[in-house]
Amino acid sequence: MPEPTTAPVTAPAETSGAQEYPGVVTGRPAIWLRVEAFAIAVTALAVFATTGEPWWLIPALFLIPDLSWLAYLAGPKAGAWVYNVLHSAPLPLALLIAGHHWQHNALIVAGAIGLLHLGVDRVMKYGLKYDHSFIVTHLGVHGPHKR
């Protein structure tokens, strides 16, 4: 049986200032996360289409999750927590499941638009926030203080 190698595994060169910000995904995994996000956004549109609701609801409700920035008025830790709750999959998936179970279109619409928002944000490299900074996400660094 061959001996396992003991050579250290080296990571590819970091890009986009990720060396200064540990936790920012780079390289191929970042590309795959964006492809996954695109698939989520397209699927959310397909689910919305099944509701028969008017399409103007999408632009009317699309930015609702971004109101979570108001939680930053209570501090960065609370802000990041609220932002991440409204920008991750469990809540919109729960709304979709509840809407399907209770045959309630408003819940399905809310879940589909929540997933659409999540997918579009991730495609644009807006990820989940860290407690220490609004501009640092798991997919990149955004804002005027970007290094």
Strand partners, 130: 133
- Domain membership of residue 94 as a residue range: 27-141
How confident is residue 80, by pLDDT bands cut at 50, 70 and 90? very high
Count of domains for the chain: 1
How confident is residue 142, by pLDDT bands cut at 50, 70 and 90? confident
Please choose, from the candidates 125, 139, 127, 118, the residue with its C-alpha nearest in 3D space to the C-alpha of residue 43. 118
Q: Tell me the CB-side half-sphere exposure of residue 91, using CA atoms within 13 A.
A: 14
Q: Is residue 14 part of a domain?
A: no
**What pLDDT score does 141 carry?**
87
pLDDT in tens, 2-53: 555 544 433 444 444 455 677 889 999 999 999 999 999 999 999 999 999 9
Q: Is residue 11 part of a domain?
A: no
Lowest mean pLDDT among 6-20, 34-48, 88-102, 103-117: 6-20
Q: Is residue 48 part of a domain?
A: yes
In angstroms, the CA 147 to CA 141 distance is 8
Q: Is residue 1 part of a domain?
A: no
Chain centroid to CA 37? 8
**What pLDDT score does 136 carry?**
86
Helix 90-101 vs helix 105-123: angle between axes, to the nearest 10 degrees? 160
Q: Is residue 64 part of a domain?
A: yes
Q: Is residue 65 part of a domain?
A: yes
Q: Is residue 19 part of a domain?
A: no
**What pLDDT score does 13 carry?**
44
Contact 109, 92 (CB under 8 A): no
Question: What global pTM score does this model have?
Answer: 0.83
Q: Is residue 20 part of a domain?
A: no
Residue 92 clears pLDDT 50, i.e. is over it: yes
Q: Measured over all CA atoms, what is the biggest interatomic distance in the chain, rounded to whole angstroms?
A: 64
**What pLDDT score does 116 carry?**
98
Q: How far is CA 124 from CA 98, 140, 146, in A?
A: 29, 10, 16
**What pLDDT score does 23 carry?**
82
* Burial grade of 147 (CB within 10 A; 0-12, 13-18, 19 or more): exposed
Arithmetic mean of pLDDT over the chain = 87
